[in-house]
Structure 1
Amino acid sequence: MVKMGTVWDRTAEFISDNLGAVLPIALVAFFVPASIGGNFQAVMPGAGPSLALVLRLVQLLFAVLSLWGSLAIVAMALDLATEHGSGRIALRRLPAALLVWVVVLVAALALALPIPFILAGSGVDMVALANGEMPAISGPVASTIALYGLALFGVLLWLAARLAVVNPVIVREKGLLSAFGQSWALTRGATWRILGVILLYAIVSWVAQLAAKTVFGSIFALVAGGTVDGLSLGGVLTSIVAAAVQAGFMVVGAAFTAKLYLALARQASLRNAATPA
C-alpha cells in the first residue's frame, strides 16, 4: 500500500536537495506570472475592450508558462533530467499536456452546463447575469442548483484524485490521451487517500494565501496608499507576497505528483509480478 506520509517525505527530500535547481523554474514559471497577474483584477473594471482582451491573452500565456514549470519540476522529481534538461523535456511534452488539460476543461464545462440551462428554463435573465447583475432566483430553482453544484463538486474532486498523476504519465511515459487511462489505473485503490491529500493541500494553500493577502494587505495599505488606474502600491506589494506563497505551493504540488506516480507505479509493478501468469 502506498503511504502518503512516505510520499510527502520523499517530496520534501527532493525539494531540499534540489532547491537551487527548482528555484529558477519557480521564479520564472510561478512567481512572476502570479505577481503580475494578481494585479489584473484591479485593472479589469476600468479597462477598455482592447486592453481587457490583451490582459486575458496574457493570463492565458501565464497559464501555459505555469504548466511548463510544473512539467519541468515533474521531470526533475522523476530523475529524468537536471534543471536545464528538465526544461527541454517540459517544452517537448507541453503540447501533449495542453491537449490533455483542454480536454479536462471541456469535460468540466460540459458537466456544469445543466446549471445555465436550469437558470434559463426558469426565466432568469442570462444577459443580466453575464453582466454581473444578480437576478432574482426562486427558492426551488436555487435549491436545485445548490444540490447539483454540491454533487458536481464531489464528482470533480473524485476525478481530480483519479487523474492526479496525469502530468507525470505525460512526462515519463510520453502519453497523450492514454494518460487518462494510465492515471486511472495507477490510482485505483488509493483514491480516498489521494482525495484526502488534495483536500488538505487545498485548505492549507488557501489559508496561507488568504493570510498573506489579509495580513500583508492591511500592512501595505496603511504604509502605501493611493491608487492609479485601479492599481495601488499596497496592492502590488501584496500580490508579490501572495505570489511567493502560491509559487511555493505549486512547486510542492508538482513534486508531490511525481513522487506519488513513482510510488503508485512501483506498487503496480509489484502487484503485476505477484500475479500468476
Structure 2
Amino acid sequence: MISMGNVWDRTAEFLSDNLGAIMPVALLAIFVPATLSANLSALQPGASPAVGAWLGIGVLVLSLVGFWGQLAITALAIDPDLGRGAASVATRRFPAALLVMIVILVAGIVAVAPIGAILAAAGVDLAAMAGDTMPKIPPSAAIGIFFYGLALAALLLWIGARLAVVLPAIVGDRLALRAIPRAWQLTRGVAFKIIGVLILYGVVSVIANLAATTAFGAVMFVVAGRGEDGLSLASVLTTIVGGAVSTAFTVLGTAFLAKLYVALLARREAAAAA
C-alpha cells in the first residue's frame, strides 16, 4: 500500500540531505531559464515578426534547458549517490524524454481537435478565431464544447495521474516510448491518490505564485513604473520573484514524482516476491 504521506516525507528528506547538489541544477537549469523566458515573452508583443520569431526560438531553447534540469533532479532523487553524475544521466535520457513528451503533446492536440470540429460544424469562422476577432458561437455549439471540455478535463486528469511517473520511468528504467505503459502499470490502484496530490499541488503552487508576483509586482509597478516596451525594472524584478517561487515548486514536484516512482517500484517488487 502506497502512503502519499510517506512519499512526501522521503521527498522532504531528500531535499534537505542533498541541497548542495540540487541548488546548482535548480538555479542554472530551472530558475535562470524560467526568468529569462518570462522576460523574452514580455518583449514579443512589441517586436517585429523577425525579432519575435527569434524571441520565440529563445523561449523554446530555454524551456528545453528547464526540461533537462527536471531530468537531472529526477535522476538525483532516484539515486542520490549520483551526485554530479545526475547531469550526465539527464543528458543521456534527454532525447528519449523529449520524444515521449512530443508524443504525449500530439495525443493531447488530437484530443482537443473535436472542439474545432464542433465549431466548424456550427458554422463558426475558425480563421477569424486565429486573429484578434472573436466570432459569435451558437448556444448549441457552446453547450457541446462545455460538456466535451468537462469530460476531456476529467479524462486528462485521470491519464495525467496514470502517467505521473513517466519521466522517472524514462530515467530510472532507461526506457523511451515503453515508459508510457510502464508508468501506466506502476500507478495501477493509486490513481485517485495521485489525483488528490496533483490537485493540491496545483492549487497551492498557483496561489503561491500569484500571491508572490501580484503583491510584489503591484508594489514594484508603483515604485518603478511600467515600461513602454513591455519590459521594465519592475517587470524584471517581478519575474525574478515569480521564477524563484516556480523553481521551488518545480523542484518539489519533480522530486516527489521521482520518490513516488521509487515507492511504486518497491511495491511492485514486494508483490512479486510475495
Separation (CA, whole Å) in 2 of partners of 1:59 and 1:42: 11
Checking the alignment, whether the CA contact within 8 Å between 2:74 and 2:255 is kept in structure 1 is: yes
> Which structure 2 segments of 5+ residues have no match?
none
Separation (CA, whole Å) in 1 of partners of 2:200 and 2:34: 22
- Secondary structure, aligned partner of 1:261: helix
> Which shifted more, 234-243 or 116-125?
116-125
Per-residue deviation, residues 175-203 of structure 1 (Å, max 9, x unmatched)? 11110111011000000001110111111
Q: 2:251 matched to which residue of 1?
A: 251
Alignment of 1:76-87 (within 5 A): 76-79=76-79, 81-87=81-87
Alignment of 1:1-277 (within 5 A): 1-79=1-79, 81-274=81-274
Per-residue deviation, residues 98-139 of structure 1 (Å, max 9, x unmatched)? 000000000000000011111122121212211132211111
Separation (CA, whole Å) in 2 of partners of 1:54 and 1:81: 40
Separation (CA, whole Å) in 2 of partners of 1:171 and 1:42: 34
Separation (CA, whole Å) in 2 of partners of 1:80 and 1:241: 28
- Secondary structure, aligned partner of 1:177: coil
Checking the alignment, whether the CA contact within 8 Å between 2:34 and 2:66 is kept in structure 1 is: no
Separation (CA, whole Å) in 1 of partners of 2:229 and 2:215: 24
Separation (CA, whole Å) in 2 of partners of 1:182 and 1:225: 51
Separation (CA, whole Å) in 1 of partners of 2:81 and 2:96: 19
Report the alpha carbon displacement of residue 40 of structure 1 after superposing the two structures with TM.
3.3
Separation (CA, whole Å) in 1 of partners of 2:180 and 2:45: 39
Separation (CA, whole Å) in 2 of partners of 1:14 and 1:258: 11
Report the alpha carbon displacement of residue 81 of structure 1 after superposing the two structures with TM.
4.4
Ranges of 4+ aligned residues in structure 1 off by more than 2 Å: 39-42, 80-83
Report the alpha carbon displacement of residue 7 of structure 1 after superposing the two structures with TM.
0.2
Report the alpha carbon displacement of residue 39 of structure 1 after superposing the two structures with TM.
2.3
Number of residues paired by the alignment?
274
- Over the aligned positions, Cα root-mean-square deviation in angstroms equals 1.2
Separation (CA, whole Å) in 1 of partners of 2:164 and 2:132: 34
- Secondary structure, aligned partner of 2:45: helix
Q: TM-score, normalised by structure 2?
A: 0.97
Separation (CA, whole Å) in 2 of partners of 1:77 and 1:194: 18
Residue type matched to 1:123 in 2? G
Residue type matched to 1:218 in 2? A
Residue type matched to 1:236 in 2? V
Separation (CA, whole Å) in 2 of partners of 1:139 and 1:147: 12
Checking the alignment, whether the CA contact within 8 Å between 2:41 and 2:59 is kept in structure 1 is: no
Report the alpha carbon displacement of residue 268 of structure 1 after superposing the two structures with TM.
0.7
Separation (CA, whole Å) in 1 of partners of 2:4 and 2:37: 33
> Which shifted more, 71-80 or 203-212?
71-80
> Which shifted more, 55-64 or 214-223?
55-64
> Which shifted more, 129-138 or 107-116?
129-138
Checking the alignment, whether the CA contact within 8 Å between 2:26 and 2:251 is kept in structure 1 is: yes
Identity of aligned residues (%): 50
Per-residue deviation, residues 39-84 of structure 1 (Å, max 9, x unmatched)? 2343222111111211221121122111111111111111164332
